[in-house]
Amino acid sequence: MPRVQILRAAELSPGQGKVVEVDGHELAVFNVAGSFHVLSNICPHVGGPLGEGTLNGQMVTCPWHGWRFDVTTGGNELGRKRAECFDTQVEGDWVTVELPQA
């Protein structure tokens, strides 16, 4: 799978999330105490924008219906549907992810 640069690490402060679109993928990027994590921006419950949700520690709350997901694993706090999670690394100044090939 190809690894792509999605944003400069300095663009996202700890405790924040941001939505980016890369190669047709809508991604939710989160900075948890300096560690970056990427989920699909599409909540698996009913498609809400996870990247616009509130981040509390490593849990993001979907703004549409309040479902909470662990940004480090994609797991839902109730053990229900999982958000798609992407392998994320910081390479130099850039946050990179491994995206599935279309």
Token pair of 40, please? 């699909």
Average pLDDT estimate for 75-79: 91
CB-based contacts of 86-89 (< 8 A; 24+ apart in sequence): 86/27, 86/38, 86/39, 86/40, 88/36, 88/37, 88/38, 89/3
Domains of the chain from N-terminus onward:
3-98 (2.102.10.10)
Single out the residue of 36, 14, 26 nearest to residue 87, CA to CA.
36
Average pLDDT estimate for 84-96: 97
- ∠ CA 36-49-21, rounded to 5°: 60
pLDDT of residue 101: 72
Q: What is the pLDDT of residues 35-50, one digit of tens each?
A: 999 999 999 999 999 9
pLDDT of residue 36: 98
Within 10 angstroms of residue 52's Cβ, the number of other Cβ atoms is 15
